[in-house]
Amino acid sequence: MPRYAFIIEYSGAPFHGWQRQSGGQAGSQPSVQGALELALAALDPSTPTVTGAGRTDAGVHATGQVAHADLTRAWDTFRLTSALNWHLSPAPVAVLQSALVADDFHARFSAMERRYLFRVQSRRAPEVLDKGAVWRVPFDLDLAAMQAGAAHLIGTHDFTTFRSSICQAKSPVKSIDEIAITKVPIIGGTEFQFSLRARSFLHNQVRSIVGTLERVGAGAWPPDQVGAALRAANRAACGPVAPPQGLYLTGVGYPLDPFAP
């Protein structure tokens, strides 16, 4: 059975998250995985299972999610992409690219890197066009202070403080390679973009980090308190968890790019 990989973009707003729920797509909790499997089932009688690189939560978006599925016959990748997008409509999910990959390629376990973006808009006016796509705070944030706080989290650490209480990872030890925070002027305010890069993340780790750094930017926490919270290895030491709508899975890295020409 040929294996295909997909780059997928979606709005997380109407979905319970990436992962298919136990009640199936016909239930009251639609998922991105379920939507893709329904689209593939219309093309392939084996009703293929779709495996994603990251299990995004309810409300979280993606511009570069990667998934794979085994089909019963070979497809031209251009035709496969077009057919999937036709069957996905009108759900806010799009397959950007399809590629035939080796049988041992695995969207999740072959991944060497995952990249996330979190968008925080600092402005008093309510968001209109970006509603459901950003976290708006009605006050300014101190970029330098947030960058100083983020520096405490780079490297390999026990991230117990920054993981969900229901996280199923075997170990809280993770390595964060990059937390870059940039400031982008917008009309009526500023957008702060948090870019995080690591091999893998714990459940709610990115949102916990951004929520904590927002407290630093607002002046409620000194930057060094981020390091103290990390060393506490206690969920109670974490700042508030940022809401899901500002978070995007923007890319997944592999030893060999399956989508390269």
Helix axes 205-217, 224-232, angle to 10 degrees: 150
The answer to whether residue 29 scores a pLDDT higher than 60 is yes
What is the full DSSP assignment across 47-75?
-PPPEES--PBTT-EEEEEEEEEE-SS--
CATH architecture assigned to 3-110: 2-Layer Sandwich (3.30)
Percent of the chain scored above 90 by pLDDT? Answer: 94
Residue 23: predicted pLDDT: 54
Opening angle at CA 150, ends 211 and 7, nearest 5: 75
The 3-state DSSP composition of the chain as helix, strand, coil percent (nearest 5) reads: 25, 30, 45
Residue 66: predicted pLDDT: 98
The answer to whether residue 25 scores a pLDDT higher than 50 is no
User: Is 243 in contact with 120 (CB distance < 8 Å)?
Assistant: no
Annotated domain spans of the chain: 3-110, 113-251
- The three-state secondary structure class of 139 is coil
> What is the rounded CA–CA span in Å between residue 155 and residue 197?
11
Domains 3-110 and 113-251 share a fold: yes
Percent of the chain scored above 70 by pLDDT? Answer: 97
E-strand ranges in 102-246 read 113-123, 135-137, 155-158, 173-186, 189-198
Residue 32: predicted pLDDT: 98
pTM: predicted TM-score of the whole model, two decimal places: 0.95
Segment 74-126, tens digit of pLDDT: 999 999 999 999 999 999 999 999 999 999 999 999 999 999 999 999 999 99
- Based on the residue annotation, tell me whether 57 is a catalytic residue of this protein: yes
> What is the rounded CA–CA span in Å between residue 180 and residue 216?
15
Residue 99: predicted pLDDT: 98
Residue 76: predicted pLDDT: 98
Kindly state the average pLDDT of the residues 47-71: 97
| Residue 256, token pair as written in the block | 């060999």
Closest-CA residue to 254 (of 26, 101, 28):
101
Residue 21: predicted pLDDT: 78
Indicate which residue of 44, 57, 130, 140 is catalytic.
Answer: 57
Beta-bridged to residue 126, according to DSSP, are none
C-beta neighbour count of 180 within 10 angstroms: 12
Residue 26: predicted pLDDT: 46
User: Is 175 in contact with 198 (CB distance < 8 Å)?
Assistant: yes
| Residue 233, token pair as written in the block | 């290895």
Segment 208-222, tens digit of pLDDT: 999 999 999 999 999
Segment 135-169, tens digit of pLDDT: 999 999 999 999 999 999 999 999 999 999 999 89
Kindly state the average pLDDT of the residues 233-255: 98
| Residue 31, token pair as written in the block | 């998922």
> Mean pLDDT, the chain, as a whole number?
96
CATH architecture assigned to 113-251: 2-Layer Sandwich (3.30)
